[in-house]
Structure 1
Amino acid sequence: MQTIEVNPIYWLAILYGIVAAFSAATFLVCTKQWHGAFSMDQAKGIQKFHTMPTPRIGGVALLAGAVASWFALPGHTLQGQETRELLGLVLLGGMPAFVAGLLEDITKKVSVKARLLATALSGLAFALLSGYWISGVNLPGVDYLLAWAPIGLLFTAFAISGIANSVNIIDGFNGLASGVVVLMLLTLAAIAWRVDDFVVLNIALCGVAVVLGFMLLNFPKGLIFLGDAGAYCLGYLVAALAVALTIRNPGAVSPWAMLLVCGYPIIETLFSVYRRLSRKCRRNPGTPDASHLHSLVYRRVVSRKLIPYAPAWQRNALTSPFMWLYAAVPMLGAIFWPQSLVMVVAWLALSFFVYQRAYRRMVRMGVFFRKPARMAL
């Protein structure tokens, strides 16, 4: 039977991560009167469900926690050196996404295209710095193209950018995106443990600690938000580790299994694009709306059925556990069948079917609001 051979010193890195992230988040909340003029997320907006202006620069706290974990990693062992080197490359590669997201959090003027390009640049930077890029997906013809470095690097950049932006799309309620990321990182850690990749395992656990440190103030009351910088960087972190885990363990981990790890945000993104481009809606796919599954769960289930008279923050927070449960569905497939393409595709189809049925059930529970925004399938 396998045992988790995590160097005890690594727990110090995990402790540093959670303490630094919590301390930085606490500082940002306590000093919001100093920076609130540019860091606050106002309560007005079609996709807003909070009632008070709240700092949206949680990405700063996450970066502080990640850097603290990096400093605390041991460097006197071969495994420790490799772990520290890979985490350092992940942090360095993520800077374009972080900067673009933070600028948007502060100025509210960075275009969607610019942020998409920045996350793609982070994906490309990680691939170039680490040497980990997707060179095959077990599809004849496609693998031939991906084996050519320029195509493989661009594909990897596109994939990492897609995951980073999909995490930003599900960032709608207290603890929703951060809780889903914790589950994704734990899933990667479980797969890494199965294939004895303790470098990815330890980085994933450090990531979990950093996110939990932030969540202590984000969930349930939502005292601070991830913001674009936080959401992009968490999505980038998951995607970068997924790529590294696949490339470091050829044959043991299928790149398709990584789709299951990120199944919920990917399905939410694809369905949102389809919904906005459909004949009933005909909207720009990048336009924000309040028609996501988590928005419907908040209105149809939590606010109408479960706790209709509870304070807004309680209804906000109760929405997230429902989505955490759904997010775990595709992840289970990745844990049980990391190598089987057939099972991964079947489980992905099942996850989409569950999403589609849940969405239609939410629609039937009431009539969509026509104003201020039309909501349609």
Structure 2
Amino acid sequence: MPLSCTYSVAPAILEAAQPDDCLFMSFSFSCVAIFCLFGACILSACIVRGMIGLAVMDTPGHRSAHDTPTPKGGGVGVMLAFAGVLPVLMSLTGLPLFSLPACTLAAATLLLCAVSWLDDIYQWSPAIKFAAQCAAACLVVAGGMALPWPTPFVGAILSVLWLIFITNAVNFMDGLNGLISGCLCIAALCIAASATYLGVPALRWPALLMAFCLAGFLPFNFPHARIFLGDVGSQGCGLLAGAAALYIAARSPFPSGWVVGPALLFPLIYDVIFTLIRRKLARHSLVQAHRGHLYQVLHRSGLYAPAISCMEWAFTLWGMIIGCFVAPMPVLAGSLIAFLLVCLPQLVWTAFAILRTRQHKIGAW
């Protein structure tokens, strides 16, 4: 059976050209690629606007931050724009379009988004969503996007667990205007800006594309929400964010390069882990819906929602700075320093949340 071709004509044309022609053609390819990014942003915004008209409503519940029914499914615009423009962008920039990791990641994202969108409509059992997350994570790892350490087998297991955890973390944190879409947009821009430095230049254009797709959605969700991402957006973006972190950890030549992904996503990771531990100690159900996340507690205390989201954006940027700073360090030193530095603002944030709950009685959390 013939192998699928992963060869792009763009590098071959550039290689065969004269130096002046090569420079001009490289500039031309970059211009077209940038045009694709803005096109994706506009396409995402147009689909999101259409989803508002479709009106698949998110009715407020006891854990909701909004008071009136609001459309959900804005993630359909983000994911469709990303999926539609990515093949064109990869061809233009010489990235292998039909490589096994790319194909399995695409299949996993499609599976998870399809199940999530149907869940947005029909409210399926959590067991179905979890099964889809597990299947998607296994697909990504089976395609070769996995940690090679401490052994390939253990690394594969850790990679599956990481993908499932971060997909759920993003989903859990998607409860306030602009929080998740803004955090992931900034994270994508940070990855694109530092991809060459980290030794993973292949992530530059896909990360930029995701940032532009999220930018097309963000005006409809922040500071006032006309539509939410929904599970289709939060889980799809969560899986891609987790996969990008795995790619950096596996491919970066820096000893502590693996720290970058977790540091970048640490505001989400910390809030979820802190909440799970606190609820466990309080003997509350870990699977029951609640309003006990730090961002929810702060919002319930009367803090302005956009201010909370902006702080989470700042924490995301801080995590990327720390990740890039410690990446060249030895593994043990880099990991320890990164953990301490990303934890510090989160501990201050937690102390502030506890102080707010004492000053503004919000009930059990």
The TM tier, using the shorter chain, reads 0.7 to 0.9
Q: In the alignment, does 2:102 pair up with 1:99?
A: no
Determine the structure 1 residue equivalent to 2:30: 7
Identity between Structure 1 and Structure 2 (%)? 20
Determine the structure 2 residue equivalent to 1:51: 67
Q: In the alignment, does 2:365 pair up with 1:364?
A: no
Determine the structure 2 residue equivalent to 1:36: none
- Deviation by residue 1:327-357 (Cα, 9 ceiling, x = unmatched): 3333321132224223223223324423432
Paired residues in the alignment total 333
Q: What secondary structure does 1:82 align onto?
A: coil
- Deviation by residue 1:138-179 (Cα, 9 ceiling, x = unmatched): xxxxx2xxx143x32222111011111101111111111101
Equivalent residue in structure 2 for 1:209, among 207, 212, 237? 212
Distance 2:178 2:102 in 1: 24
Q: In the alignment, does 2:185 pair up with 1:164?
A: no
Distance 2:324 2:97 in 1: 22
Q: Is the 8 A contact 1:338 1:344 kept in 2?
A: no
Q: CA deviation at 1:31?
A: 3.2
Residues 145-160 of structure 1 mapped to structure 2, 5 A cutoff: 147-149=151-153, 151-160=154-163
Q: Is the 8 A contact 1:164 1:235 kept in 2?
A: yes
Equivalent residue in structure 2 for 1:81, among 77, 92, 95? 95
Quick one: structure 1 residues 24 and 253, their matched pair in 2 at CA, closer, same or farther if it must change by over 3 Å? Answer: farther
Determine the structure 2 residue equivalent to 1:135: 148
Distance 2:83 2:44 in 1: 10
Equivalent residue in structure 2 for 1:336, among 322, 325, 331? 325
Q: CA deviation at 1:118?
A: 1.8
Q: Is the 8 A contact 1:12 1:72 kept in 2?
A: no
Residues 184-195 of structure 1 mapped to structure 2, 5 A cutoff: 184-195=187-198
Q: Is the 8 A contact 1:73 1:84 kept in 2?
A: no
Q: In the alignment, does 2:260 pair up with 1:257?
A: yes
Aligned AA for 1:19?
I
Distance 1:12 1:157 in 2: 35
Determine the structure 1 residue equivalent to 2:9: none
Gaps of 5+ in 2: 1-26, 329-333
Q: Is the 8 A contact 2:198 2:257 kept in 1?
A: no
Determine the structure 2 residue equivalent to 1:26: 49
TM-score under structure 1 normalisation? 0.81
Quick one: structure 1 residues 346 and 259, their matched pair in 2 at CA, closer, same or farther if it must change by over 3 Å? Answer: same
TM-score under structure 2 normalisation? 0.83
Q: What secondary structure does 1:7 align onto?
A: helix
Q: Is the 8 A contact 1:330 1:351 kept in 2?
A: no
Q: Is the 8 A contact 1:272 1:285 kept in 2?
A: no
Determine the structure 2 residue equivalent to 1:321: 310
Distance 1:263 1:74 in 2: 29
Gaps of 5+ in 1: 33-38, 137-142, 303-314
Equivalent residue in structure 1 for 2:182, among 174, 179, 186? 179
Q: What secondary structure does 2:284 align onto?
A: coil
Quick one: structure 1 residues 367 and 235, their matched pair in 2 at CA, closer, same or farther if it must change by over 3 Å? Answer: same
Q: Is the 8 A contact 1:74 1:84 kept in 2?
A: no
Q: In the alignment, does 2:135 pair up with 1:121?
A: yes
Q: Is the 8 A contact 2:141 2:160 kept in 1?
A: yes
Quick one: structure 1 residues 193 and 366, their matched pair in 2 at CA, closer, same or farther if it must change by over 3 Å? Answer: same
Equivalent residue in structure 2 for 1:232, among 210, 231, 235? 235
Distance 1:325 1:178 in 2: 13
- Deviation by residue 1:242-295 (Cα, 9 ceiling, x = unmatched): 1112222233652233211110110011011111111xx311112222222212
Q: What is the Cα-based RMSD across aligned positions, in Å?
A: 2.4
Q: Is the 8 A contact 2:40 2:82 kept in 1?
A: yes
Q: Is the 8 A contact 2:198 2:254 kept in 1?
A: no
Determine the structure 1 residue equivalent to 2:22: none
